[in-house]
Amino acid sequence: MTNADRGKNYVLSVVASYWFVSISMVYLNKYLMNGNELSAPLFVTWYQCVVTCAIIYWCSAKGEKVRAAGNKMMEKSGGKPGFFEKFPVIRMDFEVAKQIMPLSVIFVGMITFNNLCLKYVEVSFYNVARSLTICFNVAFTYFMLGRTTSNRTLMTLVIVIWGFFVGTQGEVNFSFVGTFCGIMSSAFVSLNSVFTERVLPVVQRDKWRLSYLNNANACALFLPLILVFESGKLADNAETLLSPSFWVGMTAAGVFGFLIGIVTVMQIEATSPLTHNISGTAKAAVQSVLAFYIWGNEATAGACAGIFLVLFGSGLYAYIKMREREEEQAAARYAAAPQAEEDGMGGRKNAVGQ
């Protein structure tokens, strides 16, 4: 097998892993939200945060052991540091945790409304219900960061909004509560992106450390909410809480929630940000189509048209944003070239003068 073949196989395996983890996570969360007797979305979401914290802490401890063992693992991997060798040391820092608390509040809102949306809407409608994220991105970047958006990008938002309303009209088992939660989830996803960028310097731009502290904060924030809104449900469903299969499903969902971050980064690194967005759009289409069969959702013409418009608009948005970024980078390089040339000429003149 040639190096080119190995490269292609690696890319295919990474993309397949991203699809598998992402689709499995959505389907498993749907089952946990309303596929069993325990209807406690806050408790389910809290446990997923606990699992994420536990995995990150374990990876940190494992990384310290591997690094302490010396260079044996490095030699086996051909001199390249493996996943654990590169994993940072994670410690609970209450001062830093306090500084990122605003992000954690937004994070709790994001994952809570996301799971509530999944609880009340059909899986096939899930992508449509949460399709307004890019619209909120544009709004928040303008009002909070003062950044404007090009007209061609705004046109893609029109397509997405059109798809949202077409899909809403075409949905047979329409849920106002679920759709509202989807809209709120989209808003919190956008806010999460803005606030994440703001607090990254607090953790030296270490995303693993941020993820650990953010999830630890979320675990604490969820506890009073669970106590107020779901303590009665948990007491009434003690039998379910003693079921091993329930905890296997809960833990699996938490593991998938952790893995989605890893496979997302792997897919971006193995391909490109644009290809990642295209892959995500195609994955969403397959996820919706599979939902019609697996969950028995009715595929009306309006529902299918809404899904198509939303995914087409989102994909076009990603493509245009990528092109605009490339144009900005090219313009910056072009502007820097004359200055570099002048500096070079100045250096040569000084050398001649000496």
The predicted pLDDT at position 267 comes to 82
Quick one: pLDDT band at residue 242, thresholds 50, 70, 90? Answer: confident
Instruction: State the residue range of the domain holding 347.
Output: 40-228+273-353
Q: Is 204 left (phi over 0), alpha (psi -120 to 50) or beta?
A: left
Q: How many CB atoms lie within 10 A of CB 272?
A: 12
Average pLDDT of the segment spanning 52-57 = 94
Residue 133 is assigned to a structural domain of this protein: yes
DSSP string, 35-69: SSS---HHHHHHHHHHHHHHHHHHHHHHHHHHHHT
What is the helix (H) or strand (E) element at residue 339, kind and residue range?
helix 301-353
* Whether pLDDT at 321 is above 80: yes
For the CA atoms of the chain, what is the radius of gyration? Answer: 23
pLDDT 10s digits, 168-218? 998 888 899 999 999 999 999 889 888 888 898 999 988 899 999 999 999
Residue 161 is assigned to a structural domain of this protein: yes
- Which one is predicted more confidently, 261 or 181? 181
Share above pLDDT 70 across residues of the chain, in percent, rounded to a whole number: 89
Chain-centroid distance, C-alpha 252: 17
Average pLDDT of the segment spanning 334-350 = 60
pLDDT 10s digits, 277-287? 778 878 888 89
Residue 260 is assigned to a structural domain of this protein: no
Give the range among 68-72, 170-174, 225-229, 336-340 with minimum mean pLDDT.
336-340
Question: For residues 205, 261, 32 and 102, what is the CA-based torsion angle, rounded to 10 degrees?
Answer: 20
The predicted pLDDT at position 151 comes to 92
Report the alpha-carbon distance of residue 30 to residue 207 in Å, rounded. Answer: 27
* Whether pLDDT at 323 is above 60: yes
The predicted pLDDT at position 348 comes to 53
Token representation of residue 283 = 């994955």
At residue 205, what is the residue type? R
Average pLDDT of the segment spanning 133-157 = 88
Q: Please name which of 330, 306, 41 lies closest in space to residue 164, comparing C-alpha atoms.
A: 306
Residue 243 is assigned to a structural domain of this protein: no
* Whether pLDDT at 132 is above 50: yes
pLDDT 10s digits, 26-53? 999 888 887 666 788 999 999 999 999 9
* pTM of the model as a whole: 0.85
Provide the mean pLDDT of the chain. Answer: 85
The predicted pLDDT at position 351 comes to 47
Residue 64 is assigned to a structural domain of this protein: yes
Quick one: pLDDT band at residue 9, thresholds 50, 70, 90? Answer: confident
Q: Please name which of 263, 322, 277, 291 lies closest in space to residue 15, comparing C-alpha atoms.
A: 263
Give the range among 83-87, 107-111, 334-338 with minimum mean pLDDT.
334-338
Number of compact structural domains in the chain: 1
CB-based contacts of 197, cutoff 8 Å, min separation 6? none
* Whether pLDDT at 134 is above 50: yes
Quick one: pLDDT band at residue 343, thresholds 50, 70, 90? Answer: low
Residue 3 is assigned to a structural domain of this protein: no
* Whether pLDDT at 96 is above 60: yes
Residue 9 is assigned to a structural domain of this protein: no
The predicted pLDDT at position 297 comes to 82
**DSSP count for the chain of H helices, then E strands:** 16, 0
For 18, phi then psi, to 5°, come to: -60, -45
* Whether pLDDT at 73 is above 60: no
- Which one is predicted more confidently, 349 or 329? 329
pLDDT 10s digits, 282-318? 888 889 888 888 888 888 899 999 999 999 998 898 8
Look at the block and give the residue holding tokens 């654990």: 84
